[in-house]
Chain A
Amino acid sequence: MTSTSSDLPAALQEAITRRHVHDGTAHAIVSTELKIIHCSADFGRFLPENTAQIEGSLLTSLFAEFIGSEPYLRALLHNPDEHYAIKRVNRTAPDDSVHYLDLELTGFDPQRPELGWLFTIRDTTEVGRLEQSLIQERNQLRLARRELALVNRELSRLDQLKTIFLSMAAHDIRAPLTVIRGYVEILTSMAEINPVDIDFDEFAAFLNTIRVQTDWLDNIINNILGLDQIENDQLVLHIVPCDLNSIIMDMCDMMQATAKLNQRTLTCSPADHPVIIPGDHQRLQQILQNVIGNGIKYNQTGGKVHISLSTSPEFAILTVTDNGVGIAQDQLPHIFELYYRTESAQKSQVRGTGLGLFIVKTLVEAHKGTIEVKSTIKSGTTFTICLPLLLKK
């Protein structure tokens, strides 16, 4: 059965047709065929300007919001307790401003479904905009809170790592100090008990051990100070022309004692000419001490560490290769991260703070250079450091 205008009380038709909107609402009578039969005078203001015909048009052709809901709407006509409402329908005006409408369909009389529906449009732009801005703020707060939680988690992780680092650093400083103190006591007693029969070779070997342990201590302290400067943005390089060739030869000599003490072989293939780069002499030594030190530490008895220096037209190319324990491929991307220690390093008895390679990378980059690493488990690791030459060839 289809509703027609004659089915509705004349007074109601009249009231709806003549009604002028002063409260932001408009009404229409919708037939059971979903056609608009009557509408209030300013119903058209909720439709696009080029809408030619309202009365007689299908509701779904003017309001796409009802497409797909037709079966439910028909069922609604028989249910006195239900109405169909779509709240906060967004409409974008030609000036790109967003307006909000509430659309509502209510059956006229559940006893007489043939009368169709009363369709009400309510302009809720004002309250909609307020609601939108509140939800926008709420959502942005939620996003900010989430960001904050992530940053907090990262800070807690770093704080935890720092605690671990401090305990490791304390242990690392105490260990060489214990060795130094022990040897000093031995040397003192040797001198006190029988100064005449001192075995000078043994004496020199003990002094050498003390020197190695002092170098180790020096490296730890330099790294801690370096980290402090990096973290506080206070890393200052004193750049002067440096001969990298002579620096690597000096470092190779200096670290021979450490290599021997650990039963490793340290060799060096310098370039056959001076390799001048703009650099900070002390920092370049720190880079080498860390990389060579790792090659010695993460190696086995009888292991080898080799340093070589060559040049390309623009760069000094320094490689440090060892035949040590190697680094797993999935851990390689992380080895330059602060406090990072590989799983094998953590499991091993080798002391380490997770500072060295972070500082190395920071210092290499501060010299406008690059560092790369290649490694194979149980075969060894090669670090390649490229530093710009003072004068390009």
Chain B
Amino acid sequence: MRTVQKKVCMLGDFAVGKTSTVQRFVEGIFDDRYLSTIGVKINRKQLTVDDYVATLLIWDLAGGDDFSSVTQSYLRGASGALLVCDVTRAESLALVERYAAQIRSVTPSASLILLGNKIDLTAQRTVSDSDLEAFSKRINCGWLTTSAKTGQNVDQAFVQLTLQIIAKSHLAEHDDPAT
């Protein structure tokens, strides 16, 4: 088994469920109350994928439309990010494009996955699977629908992101034998 430690970021508009997604993944719980995150909260979680024991340092960042240099500095050294939108708020999907551009300007090789969260709110859903599919093609990443409330696809999202990060590291090693 090889061990790796990777920094991943949670990015997206406010109240899309970034903190709840992390809480579901790390602690296996869900809290219905909305508490805005300011600054950054870092969580660790170890998971085993393929032949790797990966420790993820998950940077849960404040959401919203602040794309300042302060936010940019938080993204340094990130190997990947989950770009989260709320499937009941179409405008939260539009903001994802700016987050994708921001992290790619800091770390161009970062692995990204788009999450359409709150999939449990079926009746209020305004962002369809085909919207997510089309959007993920535009920003060149994979996508999943998730529910931090029920836990649907949450582990899957982090596992897939880790697999992508590891695969990219592999490629980098093969491209540059010195690393």
Contacts and interface: CB of A to CB of B under 8 A. Distances in A.
B36 A139 contact: yes
Interface in B1-50: 5-7, 14-15, 34-42, 44
B40 A88 contact: yes
Given A67-B5, A67-B77, A69-B77, A139 B15 contact: yes
A72 B35 contact: no
Contacts of B39: 86-90, 100, 128
B70 interface: yes
A136 interface: yes
Given A67-B5, A139-B64, A132 B73 contact: no
B74 A86 contact: yes
Given A65-B42, A67-B7, A136 B74 contact: no
A90 B23 CA distance: 14
Contacts of B14: 135, 139, 142
A100 B15 contact: no
A128 B38 contact: yes
Contacts of A89: 39-42
Interface in A65-103: 65, 67-72, 84-90, 100
Nearest to A140: B34
6 contacts: A65-B42, A67-B57, A72-B76, A72-B77, A135-B64, A139-B14
B36 A90 contact: no
B78 interface: yes
A205 interface: no
A88 B5 contact: no
B168 interface: no
A85 B70 CA distance: 8
A90 B77 contact: no
A88 B38 CA distance: 7
Nearest to B35: A136
A268 to B, nearest CB: 39
A185 interface: no
Interface of B: 5-7, 14-15, 34-42, 44, 57, 62, 64, 70, 73-74, 76-79, 89
B40 A68 contact: no
A386 to B, nearest CB: 25
B37 A90 contact: yes
Nearest to B39: A88
A131 interface: yes
Given A86-B40, A89-B40, A69 B76 contact: yes
A84 B40 contact: no
Contacts of B36: 132, 135-136, 139
B40 A90 contact: yes
Given A67-B77, A90-B37, A128-B39, 5 more contacts: A68-B79, A89-B42, A135-B36, A135-B38, A146-B89
A143 interface: yes
A364 B60 CA distance: 51
Contacts of B70: 85, 87
Contacts of A90: 37-42
A64 interface: yes
B5 A100 contact: no
Contacts of A136: 34-36
